[in-house]
Amino acid sequence: MTALLWLAALPCLYWTQGVETAPALKKAAIERLCVAPDQAAAWSKAGFTPVSVSDTDLALRETVAAPGIRARADRASATRSPWVFTNGSRFLRDPAGKYVYDLPAGKAALAAAEAYAYGADAVLKIEAADLESLGPMLAFLAALPKSDLPDVSDVAVVDDGSATMGEALTLLVRRNLLFRTVPAPSAQYRVNVKLGTPEFPADAAADPSAFALKVRRQLTDEQRSLRIFGTEVVIGRLLGDGSRMRLHLLNYGGRETEGVRVRLRGSHPEGEANVAGQGKVPLEDLGLVDGATEFTVRRLGPYGVVDLPAVK
Amino acid sequence: MDRRDFVRLLAAVPFVPTLKGASAAPAGLPKLKVVTRYAPSATPGIPGPFPGRVIAVRSDKSVDVETSAANDEVVREMMARGMCALTGEKTPLEAWRQFVQPSDVVGIKVNCGGHPWCVSAYEIVAEIVRQLGAAGVPPTQVFVYERFQNQLDEVNYAPHLPEGVTIVAAETANRRADNRGYDPATYVEADLFGEEDTRSNMMRLVSQKLTKIINVPNMKDHGATGATGCLKNIAYGSFSNVARTHYRGKSHTYSFVGTLASVEPLRSRTVLQIMDGLRGVWHGGPFARTRKYVFYPKQILFGTDPVAIDRLLLDIIDDERKRHGAISIYDRSPQYLKMDDGAARDADPNVNIIIREPGHVEFAAGLGLGVADKARIKVQDVVV
């Protein structure tokens, strides 16, 4: 992938303010931005890399939700997992899609990381106050080592394209159940899901949470390629080719989490993390247990990525 | 016994409903997988040298029920008499030396959940530190601990303790964002309700630092377990991610409490149980945000067997509830269950938000943690 293409793969800030705001963008270390076509020349002259996005282009993009969490009002006790808003399943369902985030304050950095982690073509409409957090995140993403590894998937899902299935896929993402949408069941996956079969009747996805739990129980926790402990608001996207692995970690909780414990199937005796706001950090308490690799990421803000090289 | 054997053992432990008022056993006990690299000591602290033995020291002068203030001088006398009675020694110093050596790093597991009306008493904690010092354990080797720092801060033991004592928690608050205080290699794994995080990890302080632990629970009702005493204080107070065991009216505390307490090295290192019964909570526990359900047992229980003490505690709480006309902690009737309605529970002692599991005490006995059969528990009463 060329540097230009790589840059193009990063989420793009959509900026409607005039070129007189250039100092604020430069202060945030933002160099590339999506602007109206008639503004592109001025931004280019100001030293930026503008990408022309017309109103029509913007309207054709699918609007996705602001990522984050919301406490579950219907559940009062201390064990309740918060509701995680993630767009991961939408990106996985339509990887060629074009998306736009329309974000409230405080969400820009996480949204940028989410789009990057899923390789989504996304533009970000943000609150100006978020430049301060978005700039460093975009710089961090741009500096990450390139990777073209494919998804690791434990579950194959025959996607009927329905909204119900969309909700069910969202729950799979939220539960860190790694899936791939396929045209037909395949023996290469540990679990195949096709609605309308004896194992998954037509209404099996009507309750997305129960659906995800059923998939999980069929797969079993021991056979899952990815487990995350110590938090229920961190979602992983695992890529790998059987030897090298890359794990994107997205923290939707809105605050730093300390001690995120990860279990990956397979043996990976070494690796390192790149964490936004911290740079390269060693994996802590790394060990091989029962055919799996476990390690701890000491502190995780909105995003980090873990690279595990091939075993020598 | 290896880990797999332990899992099998848990699955094999039968429920024998011999407790008074006990009804059906919880159906479908969850599979609990214990992971630890620590071996038990030659004589594990639980149940220790005195299984089935409890010293109950009472004093009418120990607490002023009007102000709820404890009498420091009386508490010290109660502590001295209790320790001597438990060990058979003539002096407190000799008694304490049965449990600690100068080289020990000692943890004092307090309970701060009942702030402001029912927490591990300053007077008791201070006296423990004083006696540890007399036995040669300097303050720098003493750690007063809880799971949540914000609770410790509220209670604020520091002004009552000598300089050098460390007051420490595993997490800043109960918000699941801070796991570095837990040992990633020592945990109990269980899928109880389909929760994604299935591990409860032991505090690093317990597994990696302390050599001895003194457990100082209170006498409190608990909505999920029936009562919270020695077992629950040491278990749920030393592991992460434990509130997940009770949810929507259902409690898995029946097998979870004892299993956590049995995990090494917690079991071996917890050498002494001192139950603070100066004050108690007969409903709405483990919290005590108002005095509405606070009562004054005016006693301290001593032992090394947490099961025996907790077995007595079940009766103490249930008897107090009866005095107020409240339903028994053994009541499993759906008619009294208002799931997740904490406000209703706080307003009415005849409301449960979860079906309580007082049978957790007997389950713990089945794990070898002590004696639950009242006919085999020997209580020595001491009056100060």
pLDDT tens for residues A272-291?
Answer: 999 999 999 999 999 999 89
- Is the CB of residue A13 less than 8 Å from the CB of residue A120? no
Q: Does residue B61 have a pLDDT over 60?
A: yes
pLDDT at site A243: 86
Q: Which of A1-10, A81-90, A188-197, B269-278 has the lowest mean pLDDT?
A: A1-10
List the one residue out of A253, A305, A296, A254 whose CA is nearest residue A278.
A305
* A216–B247 CB contact, under 8 Å: no
Cβ(B116)–Cβ(B67) below 8 Å: no
The reply to whether residue A261 touches residue B195, judged by beta carbons under 8 angstroms, is: no
Residue B338: helix, strand or coil by DSSP?
coil
Q: What is the pLDDT of residue A159?
A: 95
Give A79's contacts in chain B (Cβ within 8 Å): 193, 195, 243-247
**Least CA distance to B182: which residue of chain A?**
A259
Q: Look at residue B79 and tell me whether its pLDDT is greater than 50.
A: yes
Taking residues B293-312, what's their average pLDDT? 98
Do B45 and B270 touch, CB atoms closer than 8 A? yes
The whole-angstrom separation of Cα B356 and Cα B227 is 9
Per-residue confidence band for A7, with pLDDT thresholds at 50, 70 and 90: low
Q: What is the pLDDT of residues B9-35, one digit of tens each?
A: 343 333 333 334 344 445 689 999 999
Mean pLDDT, chain B, rounded, equals 93
Kindly state the percentage of chain B with pLDDT values over 70: 93
* Residues of chain B contacting A75 with CB distance shorter than 8 Å: 248, 340
The pLDDT value recorded for residue B18 is 37
**B290 versus B5: which is more confidently predicted?**
B290
The C-alpha of B22 sits at a distance from chain A's nearest C-alpha, in angstroms, of: 26
Per-residue pLDDT tens digits for B241-263: 999 999 888 899 999 999 999 99
Mean pLDDT score, B131-142: 98
Q: Residue A79 and residue B182: Cβ atoms within 8 Å?
A: no
* Higher-scoring residue by pLDDT: A104, A204: A104
**pLDDT tens digits, one per residue of A22-79:** 999 999 999 999 999 999 999 999 999 999 999 999 999 999 999 999 865 444 333 3
* pLDDT exceeds 80 at position B192: yes
Residue A8 pLDDT class (50, 70, 90 cuts): low
CB A116 within 8 A of CB A141: yes
Model pLDDT, residue B330 = 97
- With CB atoms and an 8 Å threshold, state whether A298 touches B342: no
**pLDDT tens digits, one per residue of A247-271:** 999 999 999 999 999 999 999 999 9
Cβ-Cβ contacts under 8 Å, A285 against chain B: 184-185
Please tell me the predicted confidence (pLDDT) of residue B24: 47
**What is the pLDDT, as a whole number, of residue A202?**
87
Spatial neighbors of A82 by CB under 8 A, at least 6 apart, are A69, A70, A71, A72, A232, A233, A253
Q: What is the dihedral of CA B36, B40, B45, B47, to 10 degrees?
A: 90
**Distance of alpha carbon B353 from its chain centroid, rounded?**
21
Residue B15 confidence (pLDDT):
35
Q: What is the ipTM of this complex?
A: 0.91
When pLDDT is averaged across residues B354-371 and rounded to a whole number, the result is: 97
User: Is the predicted pLDDT of residue B110 greater than 50, yes or no?
Assistant: yes
Residue A231, chain B, CB below 8 Å: the answer is yes
In this prediction, residue A80 has a pLDDT band, given cuts at 50, 70 and 90, of low
Task: Give backbone dihedrals phi and psi of B354, rounded to 5 degrees, phi first.
Answer: -145, 150
Interface contact A213, partner B, CB < 8 A: yes
Give the residue-averaged pLDDT of A217-238.
Answer: 96
| Nearest residue, CB atoms, A81 vs list B196, B201, B342 | B196
Distance, in Å, from the CA atom of A82 to the CA atom of B228, rounded to the nearest integer, reads 27
Q: Which residue of B has its CA nearest to A289?
A: B185
Q: What is the mean pLDDT of residues A113-140?
A: 97
Decide if A285 touches B, using CB distance below 8 A. Answer: yes
The answer to whether residue A19 scores a pLDDT higher than 60 is: yes
Residues of A in contact with B246 (CB under 8 A): 77, 79
Smallest CA–CA separation between B147 and chain A, in Å? 14
A73 touches chain B (CB under 8 A): no
The pTM score is 0.92
> What's the pLDDT band for A225 if we cut at 50, 70, 90?
very high
Nearest to A257 among B177, B182, B201 (CB): B177
